[in-house]
Amino acid sequence: MSRREILLGNEAIAHGLLEAGCTLAASYPGTPASEIMGALIQLKKRYGLSCHLEWSINEKVAFEVALANSYAGRRSAVSMKQVGLNVAADPFLSAVYTGVKGGLLVIAADDPGPHSSQTEQDSRLFAHFAKAPVLDPSSPEEAGNWIGAAFELSERHEIPVVLRPTTRICHGRQDLETRPLVEVASAPLFEKDPARWAATPKFRYRLHEELNRKIAAIADDEAFAPKLLNPDALEGRERAGGTGRDCLVASGVALAHATEILQDLGLWNRLPCYQVPMPYPLSHRFRDELFRTCDRVLVLEETEPVIELQLQNRKKVLGRTNGTVPSAGELLPETIEAILRDFAGLPQIGGVQGSVGAGRRPTLCAGCPHRAAFFAIKKAFPRGIYPGDIGCYTLGLNLGAVDTVLCMGAAVSMAAGFYHAYRNAGGKPRPIAATIGDSTFFHAGIPALVNAVVQDARFVLVVLDNSTTAMTGHQPTPAAGRTLDGKPVPAVSIEELARACGVRHVTVGDPYRFDHFVELLKDAGAHTQGDQGGVAVVIARRPCLMDRSHPRDWERRSVIVNEKCEGCAFCIKHFECPALELQGEGQPIRINASLCSGCGVCVHVCPHGALQLEPRK
């Protein structure tokens, strides 16, 4: 029996997967996709389902686990944020050639804006590159409801199908109809076919030809064919006269915004609006019909011109390629309104602008152990080079303790690159202290560390181990000793892994024990400079304060501001703890007791000794 619930977009996707009989879902956490797996595990517990769910060590592994389940004839899904698809690119592109048996849905959540990502890349373009069909929902409801048909499309053409929600879909809420979840009872069946599943280059060429035939057939598959949302507009356009044979083509959230704005501007019954649920491959029949019946076609889509590039008529098509639509940034409602006003010849109320980023500067939480570790790194290596990585600890940038941020695991390999650059130039070596989070270390840091060791690099790698994947919602790491549903499993030791990678100097310290931690760092730095030295790993271990699953096992100490404080704000500029507040120019700072965690690390920060621990009573 169906029911109605107000669901987050990611929850709607989770419902859709289980309503469609998905038997395995794997993921690596990353905003805006993280809540999909969280919702799946809640549904599994609530209804006692037997499907396998896992937080994999990275997106590539997650993809391969899901693909094998599909080869065995069972519906599978893998979810990730858009940059995760880069990590999974190798198996993704190959799997499009081999094809699938059970439906395989690749959920790549994009982040136009970007709100919490290092790129604005468009997974639809990635799907185009891979020759995989991609669906672009315009609401949480569509994201959830399309999944059953997406699995059928995948099985009908034996090809992975990409579902590409964006941040506004993943994190938007909507009143939705949910249906009973489906528990699949059939046994897996893997049929051996080495020419397909283990194809050599000769067979891959044949698979490519087969893939081309599949894409041509999918383009005209009616399941996700473009549709006219306002048929009355065809007649209204003629009655209005003088507007030419114009139409709007849109997909994703841009479509959702555009439909509301068209109604507000009184254009809904005058300007035909087509939704493109599947931007790639674009229906050939739809393309030909547009060019036969329209003089001008405005295309609204995020973020790249995927639909537009398949409409090969530069005289009729307006969009990102000719500057009608901004070439970067999220298409916010005000941006779309300005574009539509221009297109319809209506007076403007403002110019066409791209989106702007959020104004507030993000910062580490009060009492975050990463802040203490970063301050210690700067104290131990004051003229160091600080390669950083992806995670909440990227905010070490604010503290001057992160010089580079590229992608998952790059801190380790870039540290090695800096070492080789200075060594080969024959100059005076500079200390190099790289930072990487515990989850990121498991994700992509290990191969880079092995490479650094065997290439004889020398630097200090600080693994910021807060015992969770903090930035995306506290998912367990392989060191947690439990799966996402709490089942006990072997815990993987970071220090043993580092030693197994060939690192001979591995130490573990608590950044709250500030002076001791600085000494650990200096010892590690000395190892890198010694005759028999190499890479040194220091594990900064202190659980995330926001993760309530860990006990708060430190002695909370109150900090007081004494008469030496002259309000120079050194502590605020260089430590940036939210609990430290300015009162005014030249005034002593104050401690916000409601924010202070009582870690006491800030007493090591003030060069004048103006911060001190309150004496024990």
What is d(CA 573, CA 563) in angstroms, rounded to the nearest whole number? 20
Ligand-binding annotation for 596, yes or no, is yes
**197 CB neighbour count, 10 Å cutoff:** 15
335 bridge partner residues? none
The two tokens of residue 608 are 């004048």
Dihedral (Cα; 82, 84, 90, 96), 10-degree rounding: -50
Ligand-binding annotation for 571, yes or no, is yes
- Helix (H) or strand (E) segment spanning residue 76: strand 76-81
The two tokens of residue 545 are 């304060």
- C-beta of residue 85 within 8 angstroms of C-beta of residue 123: yes
- C-beta of residue 560 within 8 angstroms of C-beta of residue 612: yes
> Pairing between strand 580-581 and 590-591?
antiparallel
Q: Which residues contact 16 (CB under 8 A, 6 or more apart)?
A: 143, 144, 145, 146, 147, 148
**535 CB neighbour count, 10 Å cutoff:** 31
Tell me the Cα Rg of the chain. Answer: 27
User: H-type helices in 200-347, by residue range?
Assistant: 201-219, 232-240, 252-264, 284-293, 306-310, 333-344
Ligand-binding annotation for 602, yes or no, is yes
Residues in the chain: 617
- C-alpha angle 439-443-448 in degrees, rounded to nearest 5: 115
- Helix (H) or strand (E) segment spanning residue 142: helix 140-157
Cα 29 to the center of its chain, rounded Å: 7
Ligand-binding annotation for 565, yes or no, is yes
Closest CA to 35 of 11, 51, 57: 11
Ligand-binding annotation for 22, yes or no, is no
Starting at the earlier edge strand, list the strands of the sheet with 227-228. Answer: 227-228, 273-275, 246-250, 296-300, 317-318
Using alpha carbons, list the distances in angstroms from residue 214 to 97, 136, 157, 164: 10, 20, 6, 20
Residue environment code for 296-305, b if the CB has 16+ CB neighbours within 10 A, otherwise e:
ebbbbbbbbb
Binding residues for [4Fe-4S] cluster: 565, 568, 571, 577, 596, 599, 602, 606
Annotated binding-site residue numbers: 565, 568, 571, 577, 596, 599, 602, 606
